[in-house]
Chains A and B, each alone.
Chain A
Amino acid sequence: MQERRALPMPKINTDLLDFVLHTPRWYWIIAAGLLLLLGAAGVSEGLIIVIGLQLLGLSNVQLWAVFITNFIFWVGISHAGVMVSAILRLTHAEWRRPITRCAEVLAIFSLMTAGLFPLIHTGRVWRTIYWFLPYDFTRGIWPSVRSALIWDPSAIVTYLTGTILFVYVDLIPDLAVARDRSHGWRHALFSVLAMGFKGTSRQWRIQTAAGMLLSALILPVFVSVHSIVAWDLSMAILPGWHSTILAPYFVIGAVHSGVAGVVTTMVAIRKALRAYDYITPEHFDTIGRLQIVVAFGYIFFFLMDFYFGLFAREPVEVAIWELRLTTPPINLLFFLQVITAVLIPLPIWFFRRFRRSVSAMFWTSISVNIGMWLERYLLVTNPVSLKQPFTFMWVPVYVPQPVEYIITIGGLAFASFGILTFAKLLPIIPLWDVKEGQVLLQRVRIGRVTVPGVIRD
């Protein structure tokens, strides 16, 4: 990943601050479209509050469905953002420079989107205060600390705080540049946010050390958050859920889906900001290689989940796989999941030509996330539908209802609007990181050829 063009420093400032300081017409059109979708989701949520949960496809046993699927899916997407950024920083991967921030911003807004879904899922949103406040002070009825309602918000808020801090520390030098190039309210805002950064050697040392330290600290947090989400399910004695592999399987699935999310965001940012000199085919090539490795890890865990579901030949575990493999329409969704998450994208990524094609990478990344959403959906809905089969004689098949579709699309609109707004207000491609990469870039002559090289610190 050393094929970068040499770019003059003033051009980097101009190119990467252009979208922050000037607003093109398309921005308003896209923002309006996203706000329209968000409004529709808001109306749907309002209907749920006013009319009740009967608007959803839930039933006597199917109490967790699309909203919990969305929660798990978006938590998963948020993971690779931080993982890509933190691991690439710690390993000093040169190619990381233009893409780390869009990965981190994706993590922040995905996590915020994820956080909305458990609230929507409850129906009576206002009653969520009892998740952390006592239901009755006088009688001392406190929420159980063993409840997922305590674990999840604690983990997610910790992760969100850490991720925001991670992004903010990295942003400070760019905020200083934006401060020096802006006027009016933007200047005032950037002045406050830049916290007096002037680029002294001491400030750079602290900023670099803080970035590395946060990279190392955020990684265990990211693993723990999705593991906790997985343990919400695996602690229940339900077939398909009560499995020792669920936490690592969730994490590898999150990385698979999240790296694809990063690719989708990279393509969108590249196109929107016309950052063709910064996010190049080489970046897609390298992240495509990473996707191959992650996909193999995902396949391994998927096969373990499948094999060990049948290993002990317990009837209820076998019933889950029968449902997924032989019962329409669930089996169709299952095959669609396998095809879109692995069978289509993986062979494509093996070819360098396709890895360097922006459109091929975009569509394969979309395909992966369709598959991963379906995987979460089947994982959540199937085992719940088999819960207590002898207790309920009548168990209707779960079918998502229109409000569930609208709110799901609203979640996508929320995350997209968040990223777009961030990119409008703040530089989403890190100026200082790109400039540092330019400084470290060297050419080395070996025999008759000149090859790219980098200064090793």
Chain B
Amino acid sequence: MLALATLAAAGVVALVELLLGGARSPASWGYVAAALAFLLSTAQAAPPLAFASRLARGFWGISLRRAADLWVVAGLVTTPLLIVLLTRLPDWHNRPSIWLNWPGAPGVWDAVGITVLLLAGLALLWAGARPDRAAARALRGGSASAWRGTVRAWSVLTLGMKALGGLYLLVLVFVHLLVVSDLALSLVPGWSSPNMPPYHAVTALQAGIATTLLTLAALRYFGGLERYIRRDAFHAAGKLLLSLSLLWFYFTWAELLTYWYGRTPAELHLLDLLMFGPYLGLFAAAALLNFVLPFLVLLWNRVRLTVAGPTLAAALVLLGNYVDRVRIYVAAWSVAGPPRPELDQVPAAQWPGLPEVLVLLGMPAAALLLYLLALRLLPAVSLWEYRAGALLEVERPYLKTRVPVIAKPS
């Protein structure tokens, strides 16, 4: 924790230095935007996996729900980071944007969007933790909790968790739209790709699953929770990660193919800027880490049934997501300037200096630090959901063997 705190502090200092005039070029803010987009795509995109398992009443998801929900604390890092970035945007007048000169846009509305996401996430975490906090208070012999566990309280809780989870997912997708359109698309002349917001959201869900898988693996190995975090969570999340890795390829291919066949000068410049020019290495690494390697690892059911296989794929995806976000945002900020109809030349690659590297490392460190602090307050496995799950699983004799039976009350 000390190391994380030091790294986080260094990241904050580097950010302040950039703010006070230390930015060498607008591309420096591209690295800050990449750090923001990475946290938004990994940590803050983890809770939808818990929501999906609650909605589908997936028995496999019981052990991962709290671990995923706790990542909403990363919003405490991303919210101020986005507000800082919004102050560094170039002149917005007559700039192509989804806001169409709406008053206060993009600064006010983007800030409102990410704040709503943070609040929705904290509300989700707070609501989901109420039974556990009530149980902990009862164990400690403290005063009676406001939450009593009546039939009505339980039904309100289960319904509320689904409603808050749904709200969180909708706001998350909306914030991804805001971030990618205002911090990337609007800055690049001629880049009006409607494919990018869904691409950003889908790859965020992919990285959110990867974050949850890595968290589960860490909790198993370092948190002594092998009994509670079972392999079926890795198997099920691994299957989802596989399908989302295929979608990474699909959305990237849709973007590439349309511009490739269009072949207008503006489109060729865009391909050059984002894929085949100065950031070709990052694009190739992103393709390898987000699609090729996870696909090859997760293709095999035997590998998916292990803990190590999905964890390895998750680590690759997490790294790949960071590389991808750096590719998009640094390239976009490197051409940020007054609005122009189309991109006429592509600048050379903008490599990070020490402040940019410290921001890239410090912001995720700050989010991880907050996560570890949150773990001091709440158990990593949702106790009430785990106990409810234990009631629903029984073993029965069947022919010459015994089989697990899962009850699914409607």
Find residues 418-457 in chain A having any chain B CB closer than 8 Å to their own CB: 442, 444, 446-447, 449, 451-457
Q: Does A178 contact B (CB under 8 A)?
A: no
Task: Decide: A244 near B259, CB < 8 A? Known: A223-B250, A300-B198, A313-B96.
Answer: yes
Residues of chain A lying within 8 A (CB to CB) of residue B228:
none
* 10 A-B pairs with C-beta separation under 8 A: A244-B258, A245-B198, A246-B254, A282-B410, A304-B177, A308-B194, A309-B194, A312-B192, A453-B406, A456-B405
Contact of A235 among B96, B181, B250, B262 (CB under 8 A): B262
Chain B CB count within 10 A is highest, among A231, A237, A248, for A248
Q: Are B404 and A456 in contact (CB under 8 A)?
A: yes
Q: Are A451 and B409 in contact (CB under 8 A)?
A: yes
Q: Does B132 contact A (CB under 8 A)?
A: no
CA distance A311 to B185 in the complex (A): 10
Known: A223-B250, A235-B261, A307-B194. 4 other contacts (CB 8 A): A242-B258, A245-B193, A442-B405, A455-B404
CA distance A1 to B57 in the complex (A): 11
Nearest-Cβ distance from residue B356 to partner chain A, whole angstroms: 29
CA distance A3 to B410 in the complex (A): 8
Q: Are A453 and B192 in contact (CB under 8 A)?
A: no
Q: Does A335 contact B (CB under 8 A)?
A: no
Q: Are B100 and A310 in contact (CB under 8 A)?
A: yes
Q: Does A220 contact B (CB under 8 A)?
A: yes
Q: Does A234 contact B (CB under 8 A)?
A: yes
Find residues 299-350 in chain A having any chain B CB closer than 8 Å to their own CB: 300-301, 304-305, 307-313
Q: Are A455 and B410 in contact (CB under 8 A)?
A: no
Contact of A248 among B59, B251, B391 (CB under 8 A): B251
Residues of chain B lying within 8 A (CB to CB) of residue A77:
none
Q: Are A312 and B198 in contact (CB under 8 A)?
A: no
Q: Does B125 contact A (CB under 8 A)?
A: no
Residues of chain B lying within 8 A (CB to CB) of residue A234:
258
CA distance A3 to B259 in the complex (A): 50
Contact of B198 among A231, A242, A248, A457 (CB under 8 A): A248
Nearest residue (CB) in B for A249 is B194
CA distance A442 to B397 in the complex (A): 12
Nearest-Cβ distance from residue A46 to partner chain B, whole angstroms: 37
Interface size class of B (residues with CB under 8 A): 35 or more
Residues of chain B lying within 8 A (CB to CB) of residue A313:
96
Closest 6 CB pairs of A and B: A308-B194, A244-B195, A444-B407, A245-B194, A453-B407, A312-B192
Q: Does B392 contact A (CB under 8 A)?
A: yes
Find residues 272-297 in chain B having any chain A CB closer than 8 Å to their own CB: none
Nearest residue (CB) in B for A227 is B254
Residues of chain A lying within 8 A (CB to CB) of residue B24:
none
Q: Does A182 contact B (CB under 8 A)?
A: no
Q: Are A2 and B410 in contact (CB under 8 A)?
A: yes
Chain A, residues 1-12, CB within 8 Å of chain B (1/0): the string is 111000000000
Q: Does A191 contact B (CB under 8 A)?
A: no
Nearest residue (CB) in A for B250 is A223
Residues of chain B lying within 8 A (CB to CB) of residue A248:
195, 198, 250-251, 254
Q: Does B257 contact A (CB under 8 A)?
A: yes
CA distance A170 to B195 in the complex (A): 37
Residues of chain B lying within 8 A (CB to CB) of residue A243:
194-195, 258
Chain A CB count within 10 A is highest, among B100, B246, B264, B407, for B407
Nearest residue (CB) in B for A224 is B250
Q: Are B96 and A454 in contact (CB under 8 A)?
A: no
CA distance A400 to B254 in the complex (A): 32
Q: Are B198 and A301 in contact (CB under 8 A)?
A: yes
Find residues 256-271 in chain B having any chain A CB closer than 8 Å to their own CB: 257-259, 261-262, 264
